[in-house]
Amino acid sequence: MLGVIDWLVVAGYFLLLIGIVVYSSRKQDSADDYFLAGRNMGWFVIGASLFASNVGSEHIVGLAGSGATKGMGMAHWELHAWVLIMLGWIFVPFYYTSGVSTMPEFLEKRFGSATRWILSLVSLAAYVLTKVSVTVYAGAIVFQTLLPDTFGDPENAFWVGAFTTVILTGIYTVFGGFRAVLFTDTAQAFILIIGSGIITMIGLGKLGGWSELQTFAADNVGRYALWRPMNDPDFPWLGILMASPIIGIWYWCTDQYIVQRTLAAKNLTTARRGAIFGAFLKIWPVMIFLVPGLIGAALHSKGLIELPVNSSGEIVGDQVFASMVVEMLPVGLRGLVIGGLLAALMSSLSSLFNSSASLFTYDVYQKLFPRTSPKGLVNVGRAATIVVVGLGMLWIPLMAKYAKNEGLYTYLQSVQGYLAPPITAVFLLGLFNRRVNSPGAVAGLVFGFVAGMGKLTIETIHKMKSKEALAEEGWTLMGAISDFSFLYASGVLFAFSVAVVLGVSALTSPPTEAQTEGLTWQGMDREVVRASWSVGDVLATVVVLVLTFGLYGYFSFWI
């Protein structure tokens, strides 16, 4: 399916990658060098890395599939540029002025060591359940679609693709550290935008223009609209309003995987500008990742291209993007877009590897063995990365069964919808309510996680049963819990976590002023924060927000 020129383009990309890694690996003398790039990165690199780390292969593969099968429903998660603005203006000042290296370390400063342990372990578990397994699965699907017979059969292609990408990415992350992650992310961000932008334009041209896409979507408005009625089984509007902000704030403002980029900035001003630039880049995924899937469905319905379908005649969403590459793009451009897919996969994995190493090294190992040398910490981080990746690979077969029924991106958001609420609740309450204390935060995290993991466990068991077995069972309590929309479940879990945090805090002693100084909105150093921004930062923020809500407004009424 790929020509010689395509492979040469892909090879050129890997040569560029090798050069960046060799350059980046020259200075890895301390843990800060390895995990935070010496805290000396500029805003452009930080913003590009925020975008590239977020938009992995699961985004390209999963969003295109979601666009083809479910339309604009998932766009609510891709219009989160406003949450990145929150990161830059609200959260980053606390993180940067407190001098922390990880999010669990920040929680420890605000609430004590128990919260640090809980968040560290839960975050590592979340990386296994979502980021490692989903990202590797998405990359393997690309191999399976593009090279189905190269390794004997599609199943072999899937696993060869999975292991190959993990090994290659692991090598450059281990040797290059976080500096290599940031620099490669910068290059990959623009490969992603260019490659996906090309397939969007070619697809629209083949379809006959934007008006043809609108006509197709309007003829299937129940499937492709941005806002859906309350009785919609996938994306009821009230559930969207509950879950999307909760997941967004957790992911963009409190997750080590993302926030680590801003902690590598040389100062608070640079960190904020990096977040603003990342928000600007985050505006475009709807147009270049989700819309192509919708274009593919329209082309398929007209018989202009042929997409994979299942036994029921429905489009196999997770194979849409790779199939469009093969069906529509000429030689050379195919290689560029495949390079973009590989860039997305490796960017997300490298960021994940380094974040996992940071969490385990700083928040688990160093707490147990505080006298470990800087070189020793780096080696521990590398070993931790290998363990996390291995666990993620083991989870892929179970996750794949779920994803085949619900779609890759829906799986990702549903799992995050169960993990995010207690973390979002504790961080928000911790920053804006001085009365919230350590017992309240611990209780909120523990009970929130237990409830969320209980829902995920029941749902996973239920989804793995055949349709015949489910029909024979009929209505059961476990089935009802499983079928309860993850959107509503996120809202319920968030409300439950908030109630637990506030309730336990009210029944126990308040924290002292010294315990909250500089760590809450009331006690922050406003002069330092005010000195870190300019009128230009405000104007850039306004531009991003206008573009974001402009897209929201347009797609709310586009059909």
Mean pLDDT for 151-162 is 77
Residue type, 169: T
Crossing angle for the helix pair 333-360 and 374-406, nearest 10 degrees? Answer: 120
Q: How confident is the model at residue 176 (pLDDT cuts 50, 70, 90)?
A: low
Mean pLDDT of the chain: 84
Domain assignments of the chain as residue spans, ordered by start: 4-404
C-alpha span between 293 and 322 (Å, rounded) = 10
Q: Is the pLDDT of residue 140 over 80?
A: no
pLDDT band at 35 (very low <50, low <70, confident <90, very high): low
What's the CA gap between 31 and 102, in Å, rounded? 13
Structure confidence at residue 268 as a pLDDT band (50, 70, 90): very high
| Rounded CA separation 479/527 (Å) | 54
Q: Give the integer Cα–Cα distance in Å for 418 and 122.
A: 12
Q: Work out the pLDDT band at 136, boundaries 50, 70, 90.
A: confident
Q: Is the pLDDT of residue 213 over 90?
A: yes
Distance CA 179, CA 176 (A): 6
Locate all alpha helices (DSSP H) within 407-511, ordered by sequence.
Answer: 408-432, 438-463, 467-473, 477-483, 486-507
Q: Give me the sign of the Cα torsion angle 131, 268, 442, 387.
A: positive
Q: Helices (H) and strands (E) in the chain — how many of each?
A: 30, 0
pLDDT (tens digit per residue) in 428-473: 999 999 999 999 999 999 999 999 999 988 987 877 777 777 777 7
* Per-residue pLDDT band at 404 (split at 50, 70, 90): low
Average pLDDT of span 474-481: 84
- Residue 25 pLDDT exceeds 90: no
Spatial CB neighbours of 66, under 8 Å, sequence gap ≥ 6:
73, 74, 290, 293, 317, 407, 409, 410
Q: What does each C-alpha distance from 195 to 11, 227, 344, 415 come to in angstroms?
A: 16, 29, 11, 29
Residue 281 CB partners (closer than 8 Å, separation 6+): 47, 48, 50, 51, 189, 193
CATH T-level topology, domain 4-404? Sodium/glucose cotransporter (1.20.1730)
What proportion of the chain, given as a percentage, has pLDDT over 70? Answer: 89
**pLDDT value at position 90?**
95
Per-residue pLDDT at 40 exceeds 80: no
CB count within 10 Å of CB 80 equals 23
Residue 300 has pLDDT above 70, yes or no: yes
Residues 518 and 495: their CA atoms lie apart, in Å, by: 27
Q: Which two tokens stand for residue 379?
A: 């080696």
User: Is pLDDT above 70 for 30?
Assistant: no
Neighbours of 472 (CB within 10 A): 9
Q: Which is nearest to 58 in space by CA: 127, 131, 128?
A: 131
**pLDDT score, position 95:** 93
